[in-house]
Structure 1
Amino acid sequence: MTKISENFIQHISQQGLAPDELESFLSYCKKPLRRSFRVNSLHFETSSITQDWQNQGYQLNSVPWAKDGYWIDEDHKALPAGLGNYIGHQQGQIYIQEASSMLPVTALFAANPNPQKVLDMAAAPGSKTTQIAAMMDNKGLIIANELSSSRLKGLFSNVQRCGVSNVCLTHADGRVFGDKTPEQFDAILLDAPCGGEGTVRKDPDALEAWSLDSVLAMSKIQRELICSAFKALKPGGTLVYSTCTLSQEENQKVCQHLLEQFPEQVTVFNLENLFAGASKATTKEGYLHIFPHIFDSEGFFVACFTKVMTEPLDKESVSKRKFPFAPISVKELTNFKSYCEHFGWNISDIANSIWQRNNEIWYFPSGIQDLIGRIKMDRMGVKLAESHKKGYRLEHQAAIAFGDQFKTAQFELNAQETCDFFLGRDIYPDASLDNYQAEVLVTFNQQPIGLGKKVSNRIKNNLPRDLVRDGSFSSLN
């Protein structure tokens, strides 16, 4: 049962909601939240995925502000429990994402369609990072930052599952970017930590213990974060500030602080025409302040800013740390290219972006050179392989990110075999393995799910142990 603090009701009623709107808002807070997902267009055709859902009896409704986003009509057909264990999700076909949270990335690319270097300042669990990667078609560079160590692991898991190759993860307080990486990014998304008032339909207890003191404490952190983000933004760049909360103290007033701190450098990008119907939630400043009853969604806030062109800073004044990687040697690259031919994988297009550290071979996105040593990287790009005495061993992350470029050594599984694979089991296929040697790329619906090794009449499962899941299922029926 949803519990809403009377203090919150009194507070929010004083922030511009008319009495009838307040009544609608409180009514929607007690309704179940519509489930939604976004198709991972990096590796899958949206039309094919939606058709598969429709073939299984589901009715999907397009999210008007996200071209690959869909609501699932559970009045028509209910979802099975544990959707995260559906093999389509495990394969990275979809990202289970609340519809409102797709808005910030849409706003970012409406204002700046072709950024080459993007910072996602508070990135976990990865819904927006993977959405940004899809918008960039895995090109350019995304720095996905997360302060929480525990959430960083989940961020990496989702980036890997969705086959993102143009991201580097950092583990830092977002407030350091302004000083450590001044004017480095074409676009920055600050989906700020917040009070979460808009999540009450998903979390019935979100507003039970609400207090203004907590809101004001969070607002102080948000003001520091938004100023840091703006300093890290290149002149002419775009900054999107978003939260899943509703109080103006964490939204409009944080934005006003930015405008007051940089009055000559910042302009508002008006979001009134971002999508059909956006004007229903547009504030007088040009921000989107979405209450749950407006679009039958979570509550959300989105603001978009442009940094006025100025003289660039002297970036060389920033001290740099030693970097433990080096561009791959000519000899090592030749040997690695030869190994990749086993999979029919031509790595010529990425050869200039391959680095090495001891026996590790890595792919780093273009643009990372400018940031090397400025801020501590946690996981960079894609670990491709490790070398050993007998050659190389390909990494799971490489198979997911680049496997759709492999031409040979692929073995297609059926739905039940795919479930078994995600359960960590070896595969004993009915089809012959006579034409396969050693490592194979394991696929489902012609898309990679991992690596295996032919051992006699079975495929030894090489799925990383931390990706093994209990309860995998192949049908939504």
Structure 2
Amino acid sequence: MTGPVAPDAFLERMKAMLGAEYSAFLASYEEDRLYGLRVNTLKAAVPRLLELTELKLDPVPWTETGFYYNETARPGKHPHYHAGLYYIQEPSAMAPAELLGIEPGDYVLDLCAAPGGKTTQLAAKLQGTGLIVANDVHPDRVKALVKNIELSGVTNAVVLNEDPERMVRPFAGYFDKILVDAPCSGEGMFRKEEDMAKAWQPGWVDKYAGMQRTLLRQAAQMLRMGGRLVYSTCTFSPEENEAIIAEFLDEHPAFEVVPAIAGHAGFAPGRPDWLASGRYARAGEVAGTARLWPHRLRGEGHYAAVLRHRGEADAPRAATAPPREASPARAQRGGGGSARAGRAAAAAADPREALARFAREHLAAALPAALELRGEHVYAAPEGLPPLDGIRVIRPGWYLGGAVKQRFVPSHALAMGLRAEDALRRIMLTAQDPRAVRYLKGETLELAPGDLHAAHDSVEPKGYCLVCVDGYPVGWGKWLDGLLKNEYPPGWRWT
């Protein structure tokens, strides 16, 4: 950038807030924006990715899986991106999920999840254990959320498109960890997003503060006693940061701030001195929250507060739904004819039977036992969910595929959630092989018999193959007489 594009009203306020630091802050707008990616450890460990990639990567200090890369590298134009080996993410945006302190088996909520960067980061920390519920109120943004969850190979996520107010009833006291990456005025992204800077208006601060206040109160009702909640924004205004937390603490005496700056080089403490004197009884506690300033570290502007419920987590989790593997007859209710004929027709139309046949013929690994049906579509449903009647559920679990005329068609999400060794037939390509890009463009491939790798000698060549790049799945193909019919989804193809 040749100079700051930030609005004058914003710059005047920052000058008054920062005082002697303002010149350094302003100078940061003259610097080039930073680019980052995060290794998806659901797929590959960090050392393995570093071994595979040709990218020149520098570590991000506040996360073991984050790295800076050069703007000219274009990691989104590489087969490893299509294999879900990493997620392109602004470096400071990696901090809130790190602060949440995920442990195996946690039940986690990402309340404002789209487009999914933090959701996939949290899911990688769970390593397939527990459960993650990813919600976003905007229908269009949920599409990107679903795609990124599937690309990353997440198999224990439920995706909702719901007003958080409606979620409080089924999820009251349910989650161990909650992330509220709240919508905000976006001041911390002005260097990265010039259009956001041009659109900014002073009234945005108060508008978003009202939303944030409500979201935090709703999230608190869904947290278990003893649970942890991280509130984060990508803005600088105290009204959206310290003031929100100070007011919340006054209203919720069972919550306390967990210091968020310890051990994180470059994180600055929250600023209670920017709050109205005497307005908040617990204002001093916000000094334990964290501010990420672009002139103090290599990243854009962020704020994060770690809150813990002081109670002991000894109460049982909210009541869960009954087993959802409904009988075929129940799934197909509403038909006519005799009971026996109805049961036979329902059994014939049961997508789970088609899935079972597909698994026997094409997979070397067992699929989850708990299944949920939506018409002809089959999902592997995470266990332990409460009843979600009346809630807009976009994905009730890992989408496995659907039945078409008694034949099961596997989903791309299934391919991305498998390991190479989970398939009976595999096509093993390297990232340098031109056929890898041709596959990702949707082309049919001519392959030699030696390109087909079978799990054992009795596997028939004809059928679905899991196409892999450097050992990691990128999608399905159908092998027939040396031709691989491409099953890569049109909306995902390399352009």
Matches of 2:267 and 2:297, distance apart in 1: 12
Match of 2:371 in 1: 354
Q: Give 5+ residue unaligned stretches, structure 1.
A: 471-477
Conserved 8 A contact 1:130-1:164: yes
Cα deviation, residue 324, structure 1: 12
Match of 1:106 in 2: 98
Matches of 1:315 and 1:444, distance apart in 2: 42
Cα deviation, residue 375, structure 1: 2.7
- Whether 2:137 is the aligned partner of 1:147: answer yes
Residues 410 and 126 (structure 1 numbering): CA distance in 2 closer, same or farther, change over 3 Å? Answer: same
What is the aligned counterpart of 2:401 among 370, 385, 388?
A: 385
Moved more, 372-381 or 244-253: 372-381
Matches of 2:220 and 2:100, distance apart in 1: 14
User: Secondary structure at the residue paired with 2:304?
Assistant: strand
Q: Give 5+ residue unaligned stretches, structure 2.
A: 272-285, 330-346, 453-459
1:148-297 paired onto structure 2 within 5 Å: 148-263=138-253, 265-273=254-262, 275-277=263-265, 280-281=268-269, 283=271, 285-297=287-299
TM norm structure 1? 0.87
Conserved 8 A contact 2:266-2:297: no
Residues 202 and 433 (structure 1 numbering): CA distance in 2 closer, same or farther, change over 3 Å? Answer: closer
Cα deviation, residue 389, structure 1: 4.3
Matches of 2:389 and 2:172, distance apart in 1: 13
Cα deviation, residue 360, structure 1: 2.7
* Identical columns (%): 26
Amino acid of the residue matched to residue 202 of structure 1? K
Matches of 1:269 and 1:324, distance apart in 2: 38
Match of 1:341 in 2: 360
1:11-26 paired onto structure 2 within 5 Å: 11-15=13-17, 17-19=18-20, 21-26=21-26
Residues 211 and 168 (structure 1 numbering): CA distance in 2 closer, same or farther, change over 3 Å? Answer: same
- Whether 2:121 is the aligned partner of 1:128: answer no
Conserved 8 A contact 2:420-2:468: no
Where relative contact order (Cα < 8 A, 6+ residues apart) is larger, the structure is: 1
String of CA shifts for 1:286-316, please: whole Å, max 9, x gaps: 1111111111210000101011227969957
Cα deviation, residue 18, structure 1: 3.1
TM norm structure 2? 0.84
Residues 211 and 145 (structure 1 numbering): CA distance in 2 closer, same or farther, change over 3 Å? Answer: same
1:279-428 paired onto structure 2 within 5 Å: 280-281=268-269, 283=271, 285-309=287-311, 326-327=325-326, 336-347=355-366, 350-351=368-369, 353-368=370-385, 370-373=386-389, 375-414=391-430, 415-428=433-446
Matches of 1:191 and 1:425, distance apart in 2: 40
Residues 90 and 339 (structure 1 numbering): CA distance in 2 closer, same or farther, change over 3 Å? Answer: closer
String of CA shifts for 1:261-283, please: whole Å, max 9, x gaps: 212x111111121x342554455
Matches of 1:455 and 1:101, distance apart in 2: 45
- Whether 2:83 is the aligned partner of 1:91: answer yes
CA RMSD of aligned residues (A): 2.7
User: Secondary structure at the residue paired with 2:400?
Assistant: strand
Amino acid of the residue matched to residue 89 of structure 1? Y
Conserved 8 A contact 1:278-1:288: no
1:456-471 paired onto structure 2 within 5 Å: 456-470=481-495
Match of 1:474 in 2: none
Q: How many residues in Structure 1 have an aligned counterpart in Structure 2?
A: 449
Matches of 1:426 and 1:355, distance apart in 2: 33
Cα deviation, residue 232, structure 1: 1.1
- Whether 2:78 is the aligned partner of 1:62: answer no
Residues 313 and 162 (structure 1 numbering): CA distance in 2 closer, same or farther, change over 3 Å? Answer: closer
Larger Rg: 2
1:438-449 paired onto structure 2 within 5 Å: 438-449=463-474
Residues 430 and 346 (structure 1 numbering): CA distance in 2 closer, same or farther, change over 3 Å? Answer: closer
Cα deviation, residue 115, structure 1: 5.3
Matches of 2:50 and 2:318, distance apart in 1: 46
